[in-house]
Amino acid sequence: MLEVENLSMRFGGLLAVDGVSLKISDKEIVSIIGPNGAGKTTVFNCISGFYRPTGGKVKLDGVEIQGLPDYKISRKGMVRTFQHVRLFNSMTVIENLLVAQHRHVNTNLLAGLFTTPSYRRKEREAMDHAAYWLEKVNLLDLANREAGNLAYGQQRRLEIARCMVTKPRMLMLDEPAAGLNPRETKDLDELIVSLKEDYNIAILLIEHDMSLVMGISDEIVVINQGQPLASGKPEEIRTNPDVIKAYLGEV
């Protein structure tokens, strides 16, 4: 589905990403790991259209999409979360999901002004869809709370629901377990696996929690100082001497 070939990104004199390649198929979980500052988020930013890569290709179903703006990439079904939660804090939980759906579909201004039957039907569908995903991430009871008042773990789940209401093919999660307690991490683990198994979503994950990564990934890509260090199945990565050295070097 998605192929990243020889990606590079330069910021002035710093080559933050240098020759990174990866592939992800439908219904696959691929994780990008590496020490702090390795270039993981920069890879995400290049794939999701926040940066125009300096070099390399990003292909979706064989079609090059590198350099397209983020909103066009998300309309192709590739959506992401951020390292730091970005919700509309003063809106309610459910409003956050309704806005996400509106921003994703082209809504007709006139239909909205005159509240035509088709507009009302779409509104109802959006509401049902939002409620469905709130239930799935265990936030339905909190639908009318202000998003900014939710606990941190709940905000992270709301972010995932906000991606899912747009019916993506691929979800890109940037450190979703950061700041979660063990119970919340376990719930997140189950949620991610369910998105893959039950909704056929491809998931690209950046995560520092190694037990989460090792437990759910089909494939792991390791980058170090912007460059590819290793890639393979979790058991291959766990025992790879170069990977062990890169991580020990960080401590």
Ligand X SMILES: Nc1ncnc2c1ncn2[C@@H]1O[C@H](COP(=O)(O)OP(=O)(O)OP(=O)(O)O)[C@@H](O)[C@H]1O
Piece of 8-16, 62-70, 108-116, 144-152 that binds ligand X (CB under 6 A): 8-16
Considering beta carbons, is residue 69 or 112 the nearer one to ligand X?
A: 69
Counting contacts by CB under 6 A, is residue 52 touching ligand X?
A: no
Q: Does 41 bind ligand X (CB under 6 A)?
A: yes
What is the rounded distance in angstroms from the CA atom of residue 241 to the CA atom of residue 198?
36
By rule CB under 6 A, what string of x and - marks binding of each residue 20-39 to ligand X?
A: --------------x-xxxx
Q: Is 49 in the site for ligand X (CB under 6 A)?
A: no
- Residues 47 and 205: their CA atoms lie apart, in Å, by 12
Residue ranges of alpha helices (H) inside the chain are: 40-47, 70-75, 93-104, 109-113, 117-136, 152-164, 182-199, 210-216, 234-238, 241-250
Q: Which of 234, 232, 164 is nearest to 203 (CA)?
A: 164
Give the shortest CB-243-to-ligand X separation in angstroms: 15
Q: Which is nearer to ligand X, 11 or 71 (CB)?
A: 11
Selected from 8, 22, 30, 40, the binder of ligand X by CB under 6 A is 40
Q: What span, in angstroms and rounded, lies between the C-alpha atoms of 200 and 27?
A: 5
Compute the least distance from the CB of residue 31 to ligand X, in Å.
Answer: 13
**Sites of contact with ligand X (CB under 6 A):** 11, 14, 16, 34, 36-42
